[in-house]
Homo-oligomer: A and B are copies of this chain.
Amino acid sequence: MARWEPGARERLVLAAVDLFAEHGYDATTVAQIADRAGVTKSTFFRYFPDKRELLVAGQETLGRLLVEGITEAPEDAAPLAAIAAGLERAASAMGPMNRELGPRLKAAVSASAELQERDALKSVGLATAMTDALLARGVPDPLAHLAAELGVLAFKRGYAAWMDLEHDEAGLAPHALAALEELRAASASLG
């Protein structure tokens, strides 16, 4: 099987994240990102309007896929079954690029207070999107909030498990679903 080769868009994202880790988000310029990715500045601007958008784009896609999966789950699905459908939809769209990106994004976030704040806001945004999708299905509050928080935790834990694998076999989805099942089982022991 051929090794995965990133295209220009992927190279730009990876280069940016590495530069953020090395020099901080603020100090990194579009010119540096393009240079590291081996493309011109105008190629950068063909993919992203600015440096900020480069981080936001992936997050918006993720939120949209989670919501789509929740919305399209069978009408009689329990809240966590709808969350599982959202996780499956989003996780299935994640490929080698996302696995490659994970540890490098983690390094960038640890190195930057600004990226930590953005990363936190991203989690809150995903929880809100999933809560709203469940409320729209008629799941009552606060059950919708609670199920959405389990979904965010499951996504993060599944992603971490996937990143830690030596070799990827089956993609992110089984890890995210296993994490959700683990959280569901734990909820019986809250007291």
Q: Point out residues on A near B: beta carbons under 8 Å.
A: 77-81, 116-118, 120-121, 123-124, 142-143, 145-147, 149-150, 153, 157, 179, 182-184, 186-187, 189-191
Contacts and interface: CB of A to CB of B under 8 A. Distances in A.
Contacts of A183: 142, 145-146
Contact of A186 (B124, B146, B153, B184): B146
B80 A191 contact: yes
A146 B180 CA distance: 11
A190 B80 contact: yes
Contacts of A145: 153, 183
Contact of A153 (B77, B117, B142): B142
Given A142-B157, A142-B182, A146-B150, A190 B116 contact: no
A191 B70 CA distance: 14
A124 B152 CA distance: 12
A89 to B, nearest CB: 18
Given A146-B153, A153-B145, A190 B184 contact: yes
B190 A146 contact: yes
